[in-house]
A and B are shown apart, each in its own frame.
Chain A
Amino acid sequence: MPEELRIRVNGRELAVAAGTSVAAALLNAGIRGMRRSRTGEPRGPVCGMGACMECRITVDGRAQLRACQLRCREGMEIEC
Chain B
Amino acid sequence: MARAAITVIGAGPAGLAAAVCAAECGRRVVLVDENPLPGGQIWRAKKNLPAIETEPWRRRAQAAGVEWRTGCQAAQATPERLWLESAGEAETLAWEQLILATGARELLLPFPGWTLPNCCGAGGLQALVKAGLAIAGQRVVVAGSGPLTLAVAAYLQQQGARVLLVAEQAAPMQAAAAALLLFSSPARVRQAWRMRDALRGVEIQAGCWVEAAEGAERLQRVRLRRGRRRWSLECDYLACGFGLRPNSELGQLLGCALNAEAGLQVDRWQQTSVARIWCAGDASGVAGVEAALLAGQIAGYAAAGRQDLAAAFIARRDRQQRASRRLLRRLALRQELRRLAADDTWFCRCEDVPIGEAQAYASWREAKLQTRCGMGACQGRICGAAGRFLWGWEAAGVRPPIVPVRVGTLALTETGEAQ
Contact = CB atoms under 8 A, between A and B. Distances in A.
A46 B47 contact: no
Contacts, number: 124
B152 to A, nearest CB: 11
Given A47-B108, A53-B350, A68 B127 contact: yes
Contacts of A34: 117
A67 B24 CA distance: 36
Given A20-B47, A47-B108, A53-B404, A37 B115 contact: yes
Given A45-B120, A48-B127, A49-B123, A19 B115 contact: no
B199 to A, nearest CB: 21
Given A37-B349, A71-B36, A42 B47 contact: no
Nearest to B124: A48
B356 interface: no
Contacts of A10: none
Main secondary structure of the interface of A (DSSP, over half): loop
Contact of A51 (B47, B105, B217, B346): B105
A69 B35 contact: yes
Given A27-B133, A48-B131, A53-B376, A43 B117 contact: yes
Contacts of B305: none
A20 B135 CA distance: 13
A69 B7 CA distance: 22
B120 A48 contact: yes
Most-contacted residue by chain A among B117, B128, B131 (CB, 10 A): B131
A69 B378 contact: no
Interface of B: 34-36, 41, 47-49, 73, 88, 105-106, 108, 115, 117-121, 123-129, 131-134, 217-218, 247, 346, 349-352, 376-378, 381-382, 404
Interface of A: 1, 16-21, 23-25, 27-28, 32-34, 37-39, 41-54, 56, 62, 64-65, 68-69, 71
Given A18-B48, A48-B127, 8 more contacts: A21-B128, A27-B128, A33-B218, A47-B127, A48-B125, A51-B105, A51-B381, A69-B34
